[in-house]
């Protein structure tokens, strides 16, 4: 007989295969973001006095800032994997849903705490 308890646990507990896949995913994101930031740094900025110059610089600054934020999140997630604290919500200390981690591997909070944080903004 399959019990409901077993199904419930499978939703949250990460298998070693899950962790390996998530680690690969995080590594890919790390490389992608590092490359993105390298390109932001290497590209010469568009002329600020051109018709769209100032706007383009603003967009690039925002893109670079969000790339840096994601990079920091990804690096933190990889560190948590190394220290064995990966997959635990930073606020309520409960395991983050497996399904959520498979979509957002660098998530720090469970879906509920994330909602609370976003509502508080
Ligand atoms: Zn939480």
Cα–Cα distance between 105 and 120 in angstroms, integer?
23
Determine the distance separating the centroid of ligand 1 and the alpha carbon of 2, expressed in angstroms.
28
Of residues 93, 84, 114, the one with CA closest to residue 23? 84
pLDDT digits (tens, 9 = 90+) for 46-60: 666 666 667 878 888
What is residue 88's three-state secondary structure? Answer: strand
Determine the distance separating the centroid of ligand 1 and the alpha carbon of 114, expressed in angstroms.
7
| Domain ranges, ordered by start, for the chain | 3-45+58-120
pLDDT digits (tens, 9 = 90+) for 77-97: 999 999 999 999 999 999 999
| CATH class of the 3-45+58-120 domain in this structure | mainly alpha
pLDDT digits (tens, 9 = 90+) for 23-73: 999 999 999 999 999 998 887 766 666 666 678 788 888 999 999 999 999
Contact assessment for residue 74 and residue 29, using Cβ atoms and an 8 Å cutoff: yes
Determine the distance separating the centroid of ligand 1 and the alpha carbon of 117, expressed in angstroms.
10
Cα–Cα distance between 48 and 45 in angstroms, integer?
8
Contact assessment for residue 10 and residue 95, using Cβ atoms and an 8 Å cutoff: no
Determine the distance separating the centroid of ligand 1 and the alpha carbon of 55, expressed in angstroms.
38
């Amino acid at each position: 007989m399959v019990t409901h308890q077993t199904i419930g646990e499978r939703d949250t507990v990460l298998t070693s295969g899950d962790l390996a896949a998530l680690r690969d995913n995080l590594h890919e994101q790390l490389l992608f973001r590092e490359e993105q930031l390298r390109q932001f740094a290497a590209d010469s900025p568009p002329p600020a006095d051109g018709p769209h110059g100032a706007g383009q610089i603003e967009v690039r600054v925002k893109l670079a800032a969000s790339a840096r934020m994601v990079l920091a999140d990804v690096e933190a997630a990889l560190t948590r994997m190394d220290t064995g604290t990966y997959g635990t919500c930073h606020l309520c200390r409960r395991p983050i849903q497996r399904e959520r981690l498979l979509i957002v591997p660098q998530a720090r909070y469970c879906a509920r705490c994330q909602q609370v944080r976003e509502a508080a903004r």
